Amino acid sequence: MRPELAQRCDLLRSLHRPGDPLLLPNAWDVATARAVVEAGFPVVATTSGGVANALGFEDHHGAPAQEMLAAARRIAAGVDVPVTIDAEAGYGMAPDALVDALIDVGAAGCNLEETDHAAGALRDPGEQAGWLRAVRAAADARGYPLVINARVDVYLEAFFGGAGPEVQDELLPHALRRAAAYLEAGADCVYPIALWKPDTLTRFVAEIDAPVNVIRLPQAPSDAQLAEIGVARISWATFLHRETMACFAQRLAELRP
């Protein structure tokens, strides 16, 4: 284990402070990662959707794992701050192989989601917890203090299906059970993606004795409100990439004769 990588892992972990959230504007290549650092952010997080799109593929395991990991390696080598990568659902790699790949990339942390993209469904929480436990064990065996952000995906289908806010309350017990299982398995942080309803999010954070990551959705509380709730990190997922591409498309339209 390279000492500088372990130091970056430790720094990333230390920046998870409930009530003083780590802001993670997600980058998708070296240029955007460097822009994040130059703007004063202490950590770079990648977006799998943005990286895949830049490579010419779809998100959700649509890009070859080696190409995604190579892009992450270039990003990590291109900045002098910790980089946490969106490793999706692990690309079907065995825990040992995934951990070796993350070390090779130079990742201080990673997101690992619970969606089985091939099946189009959530993995059984016990199965996912077992897999996360094996990832943690493989990292520990290598002296690699990897910061694992375990994504909880139970709200995604409802969110994209246009369900009303009442569904956020209905799904809360399910989300809490999954989050607790992943933390017990060795995750450092949990990420209930698409949970945005303020009172429901407050209850989630209160029940979880660990850092919580929230996505910066338009309808979510402000950063200041999220800090009051006790959120430890806020990320933008693909939103900045989408906004950038929309601006580029608009500028191109203006340039047409």
Residue 252: strand, helix, or coil: helix
Q: What phi and psi, each to the nearest 5 degrees, are found at residue 77?
A: -75, -20
CB 178 within 8 A of CB 125: yes
Residue 171 pLDDT > 90: yes
Contacts of 143 (CB under 8 A, 6+ apart): 1, 6
Strands of 233-235's sheet in order across: 22-24, 233-235, 213-215
Question: For the purposes of burial, counting CB atoms within 10 Å of the CB of 91, is it exposed (0-12), middle (13-18) or buried (19 or more)?
Answer: middle
Q: What phi and psi, each to the nearest 5 degrees, are found at residue 99?
A: -65, -45
Which of these, 21, 19, 59, 70, lies nearest to 43 by C-alpha position? 21
Average pLDDT over residues 172-176: 97
Average pLDDT over residues 111-125: 92
pLDDT digits (tens, 9 = 90+) for 56-106: 998 888 899 999 999 999 999 999 999 999 999 999 999 999 999 999 999
Question: For the purposes of burial, counting CB atoms within 10 Å of the CB of 160, is it exposed (0-12), middle (13-18) or buried (19 or more)?
Answer: exposed
Residue 79 has a pLDDT of 98
Residue 166 has a pLDDT of 85
* Superfamily for domain range 3-255: Phosphoenolpyruvate-binding domains (3.20.20.60)
DSSP 121-182: EEPPHHHHHHHHHHHHHHHHHTT---EEEEEE-TTHHHHHTT--THHHHHHHHHHHHHHHHH
Place 119 in a pLDDT band, splitting at 50, 70 and 90: confident
CA separation for the pair 231, 222 (Å, rounded): 11
CB 155 within 8 A of CB 194: yes
pLDDT digits (tens, 9 = 90+) for 17-71: 999 999 999 999 999 999 999 999 999 999 999 999 999 998 888 899 999 999 9
Mean pLDDT of the chain: 95
CA separation for the pair 106, 44 (Å, rounded): 12
Residue whose structure tokens are 């952010």: 41
